[in-house]
Amino acid sequence: MKSVTVVGCGIIGLTSAILLQENNFKVTIVAKERFDKTLSTKVGAIWFPFEIEPKKKANYWATIAYKRYQQEVNKENGVSFIPFITAYNKESNTDWVKLLPKKSVRKAENSQLPLGIDKAYISTVPLAEPLLYLPYLFDIFIKNGGNFIKQEINNLEQLSSLDKWVINCTGLGAKKICDDKNLHPMRGQILRCKKMNIPSFADSTKRGALSYIINRSNDCVIGGTDYENDWNKNIEKSDTNLILDRINKVGLKGKLPEVLEEIVGLRPKRNIVRFQFDETFSNVFHNYGHGGAGFTVAWGCAIELAEIL
């Protein structure tokens, strides 16, 4: 059995590891932190190709992932399909709409639009609740014979020495490891709230004014911010107030959500996803820089990665 080490234990690392196991690789995950300490635990995890390039490739990965999620639906693991309103304008990437089953997507009628949104699609898309889905994936990885090692990797040479094949799924950590000038943070602050009687939606049409609600089984996630090159991991009350003000304007009529938790995470944004073998260390394959679409494309990237190896 061929051996491979995956570096990183977020959604990209876990899906990569499991797909390689399914293709008869013996897999070890090496990571600075376990899955429950990664960015992946802090996101809404709705299927939505947000802030990821290149669009054509991202849409392809997202389509493959959509089909994988169809096989994963289970109340216990947090995977479900929900109706989702997605705002768009002439600058938006709407190519993903053509890739969904026809019965799963349609243009929203005016009466169905939240206030402030002029045009939107209503689609039925996967939701993978991180607090349920990530432990489920990690458990599969361990049951498949996987081994987890907690270790911080500081540079490419150290990373390449881990195994015959090494998959770099370190997200924003790759900036230091690879000295990647094209990788930078996109700061996201979100609010975890009690469930509300309002449809799930996302409006990313206004740069710097991202707004969304994602209803989950026991709570909802309200966001957010999309601040480029912002390394601030602190919770900012000004951003909390900004998020609540935006959400109030979509039709809550003064009844603000009950906030349970304020959360900050740094998305790994890159000019294009780095999905390739390293030019110097030929045993290293890079799989990072997925922006705000990690859960959306993870399985698609993992499936293609397994085919390549």
The single-letter DSSP state of residue 292 is: T
Distance CA 168, CA 7 (A): 5
Tokens of 104: 């799963």
Please name the residues in contact with 206: beta carbons below 8 A apart, sequence gap of 6 or more.
Answer: none
Position with higher pLDDT, 14 vs 246: 14
State residue 254's pLDDT score: 61
CA dihedral 275, 133, 222, 87 (to 10 degrees): 50
Instruction: Name the least confident of 4-18, 46-60, 242-256.
Output: 242-256
> Does residue 198 carry a pLDDT above 90?
no
Distance CA 169, CA 252 (A): 39
Q: Which domain holds residue 280?
A: 2-308
Q: Is the peptide bond before 268 cis (omega within 30 degrees of 0)?
A: no
The pLDDT mean for the chain works out to 93
> Does residue 172 carry a pLDDT above 80?
yes
Residue pair 40/62 in contact (Cβ under 8 Å)? The answer is: no
Nearest to 132 by CA among 36, 15, 267, 243: 36
pLDDT one-digit tens code per residue, 108-140? 998 888 888 889 999 999 999 999 999 999 999
Distance CA 201, CA 122 (A): 9
Nearest to 29 by CA among 185, 178, 134, 157: 134
State residue 85's pLDDT score: 94
With a pLDDT cut of 90, the percent of the chain lying above it is 77
* C-alpha count within 13 angstroms, C-beta hemisphere, residue 227: 16
Nearest to 134 by CA among 31, 258, 275: 31
**Band of the pLDDT at 255, cuts 50, 70, 90?**
confident
Distance CA 118, CA 109 (A): 10
State residue 113's pLDDT score: 86
Residues in the chain: 309
**Band of the pLDDT at 253, cuts 50, 70, 90?**
low
* CATH number, domain with residue 201: 3.30.9.10
Please count the other Cβ atoms lying within 10 Å of the Cβ belonging to residue 73: 14
What total of structural domains would you count in the chain? Answer: 1
With a pLDDT cut of 70, the percent of the chain lying above it is 99
> Does residue 21 carry a pLDDT above 70?
yes
pLDDT one-digit tens code per residue, 258-304? 999 999 999 999 999 999 999 999 999 999 999 999 999 999 999 99
State residue 182's pLDDT score: 97
Per-residue pLDDT, averaged over 149-175, amounts to 97
The DSSP H or E segment spanning 159 is: helix 156-160
